[in-house]
Amino acid sequence: MYVNDTEILFPFRIAPGLRDLRGQRWRHLVDLACSAPEASVDQLGFSLLLIRLNGCITCHANSYRAMRGCTVCASQAVKRFKGRDWELLALYRAARADVEAFLVRGKRVREAEESLLMEAVDEGRASWLR
């Protein structure tokens, strides 16, 4: 009873189908994420929100959730969320901030690595690069 709808983490392609599961604030959030450019901070933040809400990290191939598929799992998680829509928006804002922080941290790491590499090249310690 395996479904072809199962992926490792929340697939953004199913986001539009979640639009009408809650109130107006939720619909606005889904519209915002779906209209954002691909792989933007808005889309990534929304995906992280759903990954956390669905428990994607603990899902595996033989789990009940995986056997039902990501669409069913995400729909069920959004419908069953006990909080109000504004609480989901707060969780989204937190997820979006986490994505932004990760991207900034990653950029700093890349810049530091490039700087160290350039210093090594300038000092002749990285002869294998030439």
Using left for φ > 0, alpha for ψ between -120 and 50, and beta otherwise, residue 124 falls in: left
User: Chain centroid to CA 40: how far?
Assistant: 10
Structure tokens at 56: 């994607």
Residues of the chain with pLDDT under 50: 1
The reported pLDDT for the residue numbered 1 is: 47
With beta carbons less than 8 A apart as the criterion, state whether 88 and 81 touch: yes
The reported pLDDT for the residue numbered 108 is: 87
pLDDT tens digits, one per residue of 44-70: 999 999 999 999 999 988 888 889 999
The reported pLDDT for the residue numbered 127 is: 55
The whole-chain average pLDDT of the chain stands at: 90
Residue 56: exposure state from Cβ atoms within 10 A (0-12, 13-18, ≥19)? buried
